[in-house]
Amino acid sequence: MARKKKETPETKNENTAKANIIGAGEVVNQKITGTLETNFMPYAMSVIVSRAIPEIDGFKPSHRKLLYTMYKMGLINGGRIKSANIVGRTMQLNPHGDAAIYETMVRLSKGNETLLHPYIDSKGNFGKAYSKNMVYAAARYTEAKLESICTELFADIDKDTVDFVDNYDSTMKEPTLLPVSFPSVLVNMNSGIAVGMASNICSFNLRELCETTIGLIKNPDFDVFETLKAPDFIGGGQIVYDRKALEEVYNTGRGSIKIRARYSYDKSNNCIDITEIPATTTCEAIIEKIIEKVKAGSLKEISDIRDETDKSGLKITIDLKRGTDADKLMKRLYKMTPLEDSFSANFNILIAGVPRVMGVAEILNEWIAYRTECVKRRVYFDLTKAKEKLHLLEGLKKILLDIDKAIKIVRETEEEAEVVPNLMIGFGIDEVQAEYVAEIKLRHLNREYILKRIADVDDLKKSIEDMEDILSSKSRIKRMIVDELSKIAQKYGKDRKSEIIYDTDEDDVVIDEIPDYEANLFFTRDGYFKKITPLSLRMGGEQKLKEGDEMIAAVNNKNSAELLFFTDKCQVYKSKASDFEDTKASALGDFIPSRLEFDKEEKPLYMAVTNDYSGYMLFFFENGKVAKVSMSSYQTITKRKKLIKAYSDKSPIVTALYIKEDCEIVITSTAGRHLLVNTGAISAKTTKDTAGVNVMTLKKYHTVQGVRLYKEGEFVKPHRYKTKTLPAAGALLSADDTAEQLSLE
């Protein structure tokens, strides 16, 4: 009989916990659709609605919670305080870690230079958006407050202009939106990636945007292009004006906007200074790309590049070689590097909790409708307060008729609870008015005080009539919004940072100006490559080689020729003859494994030179098979530098051979046999790593030893080594051919 396992306190607690959880430890079959509906969809909606997509006020919840916390801390007028303090207070509204909140704060700050109109006035190192290496300091070191433009974000927020909801633990109230008095949704860049959708909004000049909004308020059919020429970015740069592309962005909310870096040429130092770059890239990405192109030989005009960014701002310096045309070089750099980049616009905004992709005019019309509602709620709030005040003053006015009577009523009332009812009966006023009178201090129960308080009753009545007229008049509300926008444009408007360029002469740009001249190309067994001009070759002496090395290829071609270096790892590395500098016979040349960044312990095997990828590559294997691959199989549309599976790895390779057209070759085996084959008898394949076809039959322990092109007259009786069918074993050399071979040596 098996002994029962003794239950320890730990296992007892574990079993009790499982018993308290319904379904714990059970494996339940569930449809994937059910899992998506109950688990994934709520998560996706939470990310879309409450995290990643901005709303009509231009903010995501994380932005709004941070700015509202700073507003409640009094940082809109006061001095700066430590960022760590702000982050800690924001946690009362935002249930996230301090790192996530601080990153949000950094992006909204002036020091980070992400926003065209930053909302946070920062002090200290907040990093730079245009550099991934310039990292912001910790929150305990930096300080911040709200910028003055935030006055327009929170104006009248305490006048019931927006709805408030409980925070995550129901201890505080927070606004669902901010009553922004300008279309902030298009003033600053905003991007976010949700589940199944994303948002990427570019920034526009505040002054131009206010003018455009005013134009739409006055005329719904207003052409936004009249005042809103193009986006405007904090980093400046140049926007390549394309009316068709901009119309697509303005009308649909999707499209691409091309941005270029701005540069100046320093003639005294023969260098280009880049001071403004596209907002979609970083200076490190630009420098890395230019260095890559220089190493590849595509940019031979550049001698050095360095990052000279300092406190005065961004600066990338490119040193040029003598005689370089800076403007022509920059046109090539625009095409080859991120110095010209595209902003992919995706104006996806939450409207009443529903994500919508809208054009500029549609977004502004939605903002106008939202702002109209905010203004109505503000006027209604003021109207309600004015009516309440008028009601109290009317009660006070009745007291003025007999102040002594009011004092007598209060004095002769025995119970405090009866004071208000007695005042109501004595003067014919309601409870609210009586309560107000009862709360007046004894020192204020004089004629002068009361007369002063009721002197503005007439003005108050006029004000109430005016506000009621506003609420009933759409045109007056529109005029109020227009006046606010005009004042904001005048107060906070700035000149454009991004220059608009109309004529770019793109048709004249030449990406690679490769001089085409004759060149002799040499390749050694150890992997050294030389490109020597015919003149230099005639004037030069003996070819310099590394000790023990030998020349395996010498090809007369052009500087524009394509080079394919096959390796012992079944890979091929592609390059161009123009990527290499001209050299002399007395030099060792370029070491290809290092220049083309071969894999570790990878060795070169063969160099093929082609101009049009015509002809075939032949691969000869030790097992007697030959693979004939069309050279076009190695041609790629993109500029790929490395191709894997360049040939078969089923058998060790003996050698490779590039032929432009079919010819005769001699294959030799370790048994001393020779086989004369016309390559036309071998069928060509398009698959690079094909195993090939049997060409030479071999006895046990014998392999293919060598391959060479057949020279006319090499054999006395060439038919002896030919065969009508393949595969074939070949033949041993005859006495005549042996003598011929000896004489050839």
Identify the H or E element spanning 327.
Answer: helix 326-336
Strands (E), 154-235: 164-166, 173-175, 190-193, 198-201
Q: Look at the alpha carbons of 732, 735, 736, 737 in this order and tell me if their dihedral is positive or negative.
A: positive
Span of 131-145, 316-330, 454-468, 498-512 with lowest mean pLDDT: 498-512
Q: Take residue 147 and report the two structure tokens written for it.
A: 């910028």
Q: In 3D, which of 115, 47, 121 has the Cα closest to residue 80?
A: 121
Quickly state the pLDDT bin for 86 (edges 50, 70, 90): very high
Vertex 75, ends 72 and 81: CA angle to 5°?
Answer: 120
The reply to whether the predicted model has a pTM over 0.75 is no
Residues 332, 286 share a domain: yes
Q: In this structure, is residue 428 part of a structural domain?
A: yes
Secondary structure in 3-state letters for 10-60: HHHHHHHHHHHCCCCCCCCCCCHHHHHHHHHHHHHHHHHHHHHCCECCCCC
Residue 93 is classified by DSSP as T
Instruction: Give the span between the Cα atoms of 140 and 143, in whole angstroms.
Output: 8
Cβ atoms within 10 A of the Cβ of 379, count? 22
Find tokens 């870690």 and name the residue: 97
Pair 141, 125: CB distance under 8 Å? yes
Does residue 2 register a pLDDT over 70? no
Does residue 347 register a pLDDT over 60? yes
Quickly state the pLDDT bin for 60 (edges 50, 70, 90): very high
Q: Among 132, 160, 180, which residue terminates a domain?
A: 180
Question: Which tens digits make up the pLDDT trace of 183-220?
Answer: 999 999 999 998 888 999 999 999 999 999 999 999 99
Vertex 425, ends 420 and 430: CA angle to 5°?
Answer: 65
pLDDT of amino acid 744: 45
Q: In 3D, which of 652, 655, 680, 651 has the Cα closest to residue 667?
A: 655
Domain range spanning residue 289? 262-338
The torsion angle over the Cα atoms of residues 403, 405, 409 and 410, rounded to 10 degrees, is 20
pLDDT of amino acid 40: 83
Please, what is the angle between helix 360-400 and helix 403-412, to 10°?
80
Residues 616, 604 share a domain: no
Residue 280 is classified by DSSP as T
pLDDT of amino acid 567: 94
CATH number at residue 295: 3.30.1360.40
Q: In this structure, is residue 476 part of a structural domain?
A: yes
Quickly state the pLDDT bin for 745 (edges 50, 70, 90): very low
pLDDT, average across residues 85-94: 94
Q: In this structure, is residue 359 part of a structural domain?
A: no
Residues 708, 670 share a domain: yes
Quickly state the pLDDT bin for 741 (edges 50, 70, 90): low
Residues 620, 561 share a domain: no
Does residue 521 register a pLDDT over 70? yes
Q: In 3D, which of 347, 362, 363, 355 has the Cα closest to residue 254?
A: 347
Residues 617, 588 share a domain: no
More confident residue, 379 or 405: 379
Q: Among 338, 355, 381, which residue terminates a domain?
A: 338
More confident residue, 407 or 338: 338
- Which residue type occupies 576? K
pLDDT of amino acid 396: 82
Residues 616, 706 share a domain: yes
Q: In this structure, is residue 226 part of a structural domain?
A: no
Q: Take residue 83 and report the two structure tokens written for it.
A: 């960022």
Instruction: Give the span between the Cα atoms of 200 and 190, in whole angstroms.
Output: 6
Q: Take residue 171 and report the two structure tokens written for it.
A: 């201890």
Quickly state the pLDDT bin for 438 (edges 50, 70, 90): confident
Quickly state the pLDDT bin for 399 (edges 50, 70, 90): confident
Instruction: Give the span between the Cα atoms of 84 and 393, in whole angstroms.
Output: 48
Cβ atoms within 10 A of the Cβ of 404, count? 8
pLDDT of amino acid 46: 80
Q: Take residue 515 and report the two structure tokens written for it.
A: 């001089």
Q: Considering just the CA atoms, what is the radius of gyration of the chain in Å? A: 42
Instruction: Give the span between the Cα atoms of 653 and 573, in whole angstroms.
Output: 17
Q: In this structure, is residue 161 part of a structural domain?
A: yes
pLDDT of amino acid 24: 62
Cβ-based neighbours of 207, under 8 Å, separated by 6 or more:
489, 493, 494
Residues 54, 128 share a domain: yes
Q: In 3D, which of 672, 562, 673, 677 has the Cα closest to residue 618?
A: 677
Quickly state the pLDDT bin for 516 (edges 50, 70, 90): confident
Question: Which tens digits make up the pLDDT trace of 351-379?
Answer: 998 999 999 999 999 999 999 999 999 99
pLDDT, average across residues 624-648: 89
Cα–Cα separations (whole angstroms), residue 98 to 82, 88, 549, 745: 14, 7, 63, 82
Instruction: Give the span between the Cα atoms of 557 and 560, in whole angstroms.
Output: 8
Q: Take residue 30 and report the two structure tokens written for it.
A: 């569930």
Quickly state the pLDDT bin for 531 (edges 50, 70, 90): very high
- Which residue type occupies 161? T
Long-range contacts, stretch 409-416, CB < 8 angstroms, 24+ apart:
410/438
Residues 740, 623 share a domain: yes
pLDDT of amino acid 35: 77
Pair 297, 578: CB distance under 8 Å? yes
Instruction: Give the span between the Cα atoms of 627 and 650, in whole angstroms.
Output: 11
Residues 602, 621 share a domain: no
Does residue 584 register a pLDDT over 80? yes
Pair 355, 348: CB distance under 8 Å? yes
Does residue 93 register a pLDDT over 70? yes
pLDDT, average across residues 597-612: 92
Instruction: Give the span between the Cα atoms of 310 and 470, in whole angstroms.
Output: 54
H helices present in 493-613, as ranges: 534-539, 592-595
647 backbone φψ class: left, alpha, beta (φ>0; ψ -120 to 50): beta
Does residue 452 register a pLDDT over 90? no
pLDDT of amino acid 440: 81
Q: In 3D, which of 656, 605, 595 has the Cα closest to residue 629?
A: 656
Domain count, the chain: 5
Q: In this structure, is residue 334 part of a structural domain?
A: yes
CA 704 to chain centre: 55
Instruction: Give the span between the Cα atoms of 99 and 112, in whole angstroms.
Output: 16
Pair 426, 405: CB distance under 8 Å? yes
Q: Considering the chain, what is the average pLDDT of its residues?
A: 89
Residues 525, 487 share a domain: no
Residues 73, 148 share a domain: yes
H helices present in 74-218, as ranges: 83-90, 98-108, 151-154, 206-218
Q: In this structure, is residue 520 part of a structural domain?
A: yes
Share of the chain above pLDDT 70, in %: 94
Instruction: Give the span between the Cα atoms of 580 and 603, in whole angstroms.
Output: 20
pLDDT of amino acid 742: 47
Q: Is 11 exposed, middle or buried (0-12, 13-18, 19+ CB in 10 A)?
A: exposed
pLDDT of amino acid 38: 79
Instruction: Give the span between the Cα atoms of 466 and 460, in whole angstroms.
Output: 10
pLDDT of amino acid 103: 95
Residue 415 is classified by DSSP as S
Q: Among 611, 639, 672, which residue terminates a domain?
A: 611
Strand partners, 144: 81, 122
Residues 289, 301 share a domain: yes
Output phi, psi for 345, to 5 deg.
-80, 140
Instruction: Give the span between the Cα atoms of 156 and 581, in whole angstroms.
Output: 70
pLDDT, average across residues 547-568: 91
Q: In 3D, which of 707, 712, 731, 709 has the Cα closest to residue 721?
A: 731
pLDDT of amino acid 9: 53
More confident residue, 22 or 352: 352
Q: Take residue 576 and report the two structure tokens written for it.
A: 């161009």
Question: Which tens digits make up the pLDDT trace of 170-181?
Answer: 999 999 999 999
CA 183 to chain centre: 24
Pair 51, 63: CB distance under 8 Å? no
- Which residue type occupies 289? K
Cβ-based neighbours of 624, under 8 Å, separated by 6 or more:
669, 694, 695, 696, 697, 698, 703, 704, 727
Q: What do you get for the CA distance between the two ends of the chain, in Å? A: 93
Question: Which tens digits make up the pLDDT trace of 263-284?
Answer: 999 999 999 999 999 999 999 9
Share of the chain above pLDDT 90, in %: 65
Q: Take residue 243 and report the two structure tokens written for it.
A: 């009316």
More confident residue, 260 or 734: 260
Q: In this structure, is residue 584 part of a structural domain?
A: yes
**Catalytic position from the list 43, 141, 168, 517:** 141
352 backbone φψ class: left, alpha, beta (φ>0; ψ -120 to 50): left
Q: In 3D, which of 572, 577, 567 has the Cα closest to residue 520?
A: 577
Whether residue 141 lies in the annotated active site: yes
Does residue 666 register a pLDDT over 60? yes
